[in-house]
Amino acid sequence: MATFLFNFFALLTVICAVGVVVNKNTVNAAMCFMLSLVGVAGLFVMLDAYLLAFILLLVYAGAVAALFLFIVMLLDMQGGTRKPFKPLTIVAAAISAALLTVGVLTLYQHPSLSSAPVTNVPGASLKDYAYQLFSTYLLPVQIIGFLLLISMLGVIVLSKKFEDAETSQ
């Protein structure tokens, strides 16, 4: 049963993540994103990480994705023809792909990363989580917060309707 549930949640997560990338309709993409987060939360529950699953559903699926969904719906964005990519965008995408490939290959060659030994995991309290969050994992949390800020600004910039400079003069 555990194998079936793992395969189900993993498949749900991957299919919905592909749906986010492939969908041209932003509302459908946001709904696929929320379903993908539900799949990840299901995987967390299978790992007995109930707090992480709850926080993922509460914060990301409940607040962030729903906020983006309502922003997109309120601004009534219509998908149209896309402009061709600029050379700078192509160069940035190539550099990002190269860095991602280097990171994946590095993790593949060194699969065991050193970490602090965790003691008494089943009886871990919320105080232990908070201590780890604000001491050991402070930088990753700050990076994720910064990425969320960038994505929120990206939604605002993408939803802004630009008028041609020639027609306004």
| 77: pLDDT strictly greater than 90 | no
Residue 93 lies in a domain: no
Decide if 55 is inside a domain. Answer: yes
Q: What is the CATH number of the domain that holds 1?
A: 1.20.120.1200
**What is the Cα–Cα distance from 145 to 150, expressed in whole angstroms?**
9
CA angle (84, 90, 96) in 5-degree steps:
140
Residue 9, pLDDT score: 94
Q: How confident is the model at residue 76 (pLDDT cuts 50, 70, 90)?
A: low
The residue among 76 and 94 whose pLDDT is bigger is 94
**CA atoms of 116 and 130, how far apart (whole Å):** 16
Tell whether 105 is covered by a domain: no
Question: Whose CA is closest to 14, among 30, 35, 28?
Answer: 35
C-alpha 12/C-alpha 31 separation (Å) is 13
Report pLDDT digits (tens) over 80-92. Answer: 666 787 888 889 8
Domain end among 12, 45, 79: 79
Residue 72's CB is within 10 A of a number of other CB atoms, namely 18
Could you tell me which residue, 157 or 118, shows the higher pLDDT? 157
Q: Is 1 a residue whose pLDDT tops 60? A: yes
Structural domain that includes position 136: 124-162
Average pLDDT of the chain to the nearest whole number: 79
Query: Quick one: pLDDT at residue 113?
Result: 54
Instruction: Please give the tally of structural domains in the chain.
Output: 2
Lowest mean pLDDT among 47-56, 73-82, 89-98, 125-134: 73-82
In a domain, 46, yes or no: yes
Q: Which residue has the higher pLDDT, 11 or 138?
A: 11
What pLDDT is stored for residue 164 in this prediction? 57
Confidence of residue 114 (pLDDT cuts 50, 70, 90): low
Q: Comparing 17-21, 62-66, 79-83, 164-168, which segment has the lowest mean pLDDT?
A: 164-168
The DSSP secondary-structure symbol of 78 reads: -
Q: Is residue 110 one of the residues assigned to a domain?
A: no
Q: CA 85 to CA 93: how far, in whole Å? A: 10
Query: Which of residues 79, 106, 132 is at a domain's end?
Result: 79
Report whether 39 contacts 10 (CB < 8 A): yes
Residue 165, pLDDT > 60, answer no
Query: pLDDT by residue (tens digit) across 117-142?
Result: 655 555 567 787 778 878 888 888 78
Q: What is the spatial distance between Cα 36 and Cα 11, in angstroms, rounded to a whole number? A: 10
